[in-house]
């Protein structure tokens, strides 16, 4: 059978740095207030802010920028130790990309084994229930609606990751697979969904929550929630007798999709 293996290392990271920004719209904006607003918008949304994700060096750069603006505006600080900052304890779970690896085994021969590049071909939703490693057969189940997730117990269900109205949402797909006894879900990108087109690679796989409301790891079964690019999905189906391009086109058109188990070569 075709199997899937994921190994992860959970770590925590926090750092700080500084940043500068430019103002490319200055020549087209003549109102002083509008120009000032755009300066702030461009600074906080610039590439050097890297999304300003909680606990990252980019977040600290954005916070330092805001503090500088507060000082320039004459606002009095009301934070800790007479400053502008307040400490908020956070809890982070992160998959280390240098140690995470994904292998698909197409058969008993080593030549049939290939790796998917973590964060470039495939990524994972991080949470406290994320297993450290998983080995399971891959089975394709269309849109993973309730009536399609037959025979997924102990397996990873590969689902067309549609975002279209009238079809199962990401949460519904995961719930359906869980309820049917699956150990994980692998959502395939819809390359035809232009409203929010897929973007690879991912910068990281991490989750941050308030430490005060962080609940202990539940005793429930671990469950993988993965996402794979359309290109990697094509590689995944190579030699299986199934046409990945046709499946992607059919799913993108919201037409019925077949279900099948990925065979061994």
DSSP label of 188: E
CB atoms under 10 Å from CB of 77, counted, come to 14
What b/e string do you get for 228-245 counting C-beta neighbours within 10 Å, with b at 16 or more? bbbebbbebbeebeeebe
pLDDT score of 32? 85
pLDDT score of 7? 43
Q: Which candidate, 171, 191, 182, 162, places its Cα nearest to that of 257?
A: 162
Q: What are the residue ranges spanned by the domains of the chain?
A: 3-10+93-261, 26-89
Kindly report the average pLDDT of the chain as a whole number: 84
pLDDT tens readout for residues 13-45: 222 223 334 566 677 777 888 888 888 888 888
State mean pLDDT over 56-75: 90
pLDDT score of 170? 97
pLDDT score of 107? 53
DSSP string for 62-128: HHHHHHHHHHHHTPPP-SGGGSS-----EEEEEE-TTT-EEEEE-SSSGGGEEEEPBTTTEEE---T
pLDDT score of 25? 66
pLDDT tens readout for residues 170-228: 999 999 999 999 999 999 999 999 998 898 999 889 888 888 765 554 446 899 999 99
Q: How far apart are CA 137 and CA 106, in angstroms?
A: 10
State mean pLDDT over 236-244: 93
The better pLDDT of the pair 129, 182 is held by 182
Q: How far apart are CA 63 and CA 84, in angstroms?
A: 9
Instruction: Specify the range with the lowest mean pLDDT, choosing from 1-15, 74-88, 131-145, 215-229.
Output: 1-15
The model's confidence at residue 112, banded by pLDDT at 50, 70 and 90, is: low
Instruction: Specify the range with the lowest mean pLDDT, choosing from 127-131, 151-155, 172-176, 248-252.
Output: 127-131
Triad 144, 149, 150: Cα angle to 5°: 160
Q: How far apart are CA 215 and CA 1, in angstroms?
A: 37
pLDDT score of 15? 28
pLDDT score of 9? 37
DSSP label of 11: E
pLDDT score of 152? 97
- What is the pTM (predicted TM-score) of this model? 0.75
pLDDT score of 36? 84
pLDDT score of 119? 96
- The architecture of the domain spanning 3-10+93-261 is 3-Layer(bba) Sandwich (3.50)
| Percentage, residues of the chain above pLDDT 90 | 50
DSSP label of 263: P
Report the half-sphere exposure of 226 (CA within 13 A, side-chain side). 34
């Amino acid at each position: 059978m075709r199997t899937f293996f994921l190994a992860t290392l959970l770590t925590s990271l926090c750092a700080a740095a500084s940043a500068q920004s430019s103002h490319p719209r200055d020549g087209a904006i003549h109102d002083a207030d509008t120009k000032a607003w755009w300066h702030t918008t461009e600074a906080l949304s610039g590439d050097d802010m890297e999304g300003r994700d909680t606990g990252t060096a980019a977040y600290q750069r954005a916070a330092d920028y805001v503090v500088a603006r507060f000082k320039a505006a004459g606002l009095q600080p009301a934070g800790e130790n007479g400053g502008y900052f307040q400490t908020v304890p956070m809890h982070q779970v992160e998959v280390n990309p240098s140690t995470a690896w994904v292998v698909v085994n197409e058969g008993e021969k080593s030549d049939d084994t290939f790796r998917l590049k973590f964060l470039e071909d495939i990524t994972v939703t991080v949470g406290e229930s994320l297993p450290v490693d998983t080995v399971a057969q891959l089975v394709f189940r269309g849109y993973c609606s309730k009536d399609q997730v037959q025979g997924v117990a102990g397996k990873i269900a590969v689902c067309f990751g549609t975002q279209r109205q009238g079809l199962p949402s990401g949460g519904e797909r995961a719930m359906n697979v869980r309820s049917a006894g699956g150990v994980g879900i692998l959502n395939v990108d819809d390359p035809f969904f232009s409203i929010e087109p897929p973007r690879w690679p991912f910068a990281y796989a991490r989750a941050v929550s308030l430490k005060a409301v962080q609940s202990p790891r539940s005793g429930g079964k671990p469950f993988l929630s993965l996402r794979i690019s359309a290109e990697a999905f094509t590689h995944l189906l190579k030699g299986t007798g199934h046409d990945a391009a046709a499946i992607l086109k059919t799913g993108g058109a919201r037409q019925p999709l077949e279900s099948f188990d990925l065979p061994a070569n």
